[in-house]
Amino acid sequence: MLNKYARAFFTRVLTPFAALLIRLGVSPDAVTLTGTAGVCAGALVFYPRGEFFWGTVVITLFVFSDLVDGNMARQLGRSSRWGAFLDSTLDRVADGAIFGGLTLWYAGQGDDNVLCAVTIFCLASGQVVSYTKARGESIGLPVNVNGLVERAERLVISLVACGFSGLHKFGVPHIEILLPIALWIVAAGSAVTLVQRVVTVRREAAEADAGERAVPQGGDTR
């Protein structure tokens, strides 16, 4: 749902900014690399120290590069396989940094082994969810399924909870409970999404194999 509606909204909003960067001679790849570096810095510098509010502010500023670089490429007419590959690859790096920063917090000053394990599961399951779709498409399957918690949902739920939890340091009482709740939701949702994708790939693979067996070998296929 977020991929469909929120992405379209922010794409329209960010189009003038993308056009400005093009006029300044900035390339889409440069925006992709800068955005990923900013997200990683925000997550790995602030989150392990428990600075969830400021870390989320930094990450949010840079995470929109995921929309800006694609917008620039379309305006330039340069959409390419390389650009899509670079974007998808660095998305995984950014996601790993966000949940890695939270893992470092719970393994260190946060001192909570259970939430540390939950955060590691969020990190790993998010990577595997993305892999299942990429691997399914690489063997010629459409992987036509809208998962319960995909990348956009994982980021929004996690970052909103992190940002609000960080208000605890500004005197807002008990709000830090939002982050553990969000991590459990993301973990459960990612597990459901993984099952959805695996089941879909299994069904589509069976249908494709059955279709191939139904085609006569060496005969008239009309």
Q: Is 95 annotated as a binding residue?
A: no
Which tokens sit at 121?
A: 């599961």
Residue 70, annotated as binding a ligand? yes
Measured distance CA(99)–CA(119) in Å, rounded: 6
Q: Active-site residue 91, yes or no?
A: yes
One pLDDT digit (tens) per residue for the chain, 222 residues:
455 566 677 778 888 988 999 999 999 999 999 999 999 999 999 999 999 999 999 999 998 887 888 889 888 887 788 888 998 899 999 999 999 999 999 999 999 999 999 999 999 999 999 999 999 999 999 999 888 898 889 999 999 999 999 999 999 999 999 999 999 999 999 999 999 999 999 999 999 988 888 876 555 544
- Residue 128 marked as a ligand binder: no
The first and second tokens of residue 216, run together, are: 């006569």
Q: Which of 91, 112, 209, 220 is flagged as catalytic? A: 91
The predicted pLDDT at position 220 comes to: 52
Coil, helix or strand for 48?
A: helix
Q: Has 66 been labeled as part of a binding site?
A: yes
30 is in an annotated binding site: yes
Predicted local confidence at residue 15, as pLDDT = 87
**What is the pLDDT, as a whole number, of residue 3?**
57
